[in-house]
């Protein structure tokens, strides 16, 4: 199973946390760096996560349209 660790960026939904992972890419022609963001929606059964907390998520079967991850710790 794949796992990821990052900061929680949103806890507004019930039993769901949003993790946004930022990375940088370089344009091949102009050699300029630009930021790429990817959001991951994870299931948090007890609503125990707090904003800007570092958590670990693990891939699982699809729980809804967007949620395909669960919070491990």
Domains of the chain: 3-71 (2.40.50.140)
Q: Is the dihedral of CA 48, 72, 16, 14 positive or negative?
A: negative
- Please give the structure tokens belonging to residue 43: 């299931």
Taking the C-alpha atoms of residue 39 and residue 27, their distance in angstroms, rounded to an integer, is: 22
Q: Tokens 């699809």 map to which residue? A: 62
pTM (two decimals): 0.85
- Tens digit of each residue's pLDDT (9 = 90 or more) over 12-56: 999 999 999 999 999 999 999 999 999 999 999 999 999 999 999
Sequence-separated (6 or more) residues with CB below 8 Å from residue 59: 1, 2, 3, 68, 69
């Amino acid at each position: 199973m794949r796992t990821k660790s990052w900061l929680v960026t949103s806890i507004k939904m019930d039993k769901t946390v949003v993790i946004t992972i930022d990375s940088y890419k370089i344009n091949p022609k102009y050699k300029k760096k630009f930021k790429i963001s990817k959001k991951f929606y994870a299931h948090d059964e007890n609503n125990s996560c707090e904003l800007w907390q570092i958590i670990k998520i693990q891939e699982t079967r699809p729980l809804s349209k967007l949620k395909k991850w669960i919070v491990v710790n």
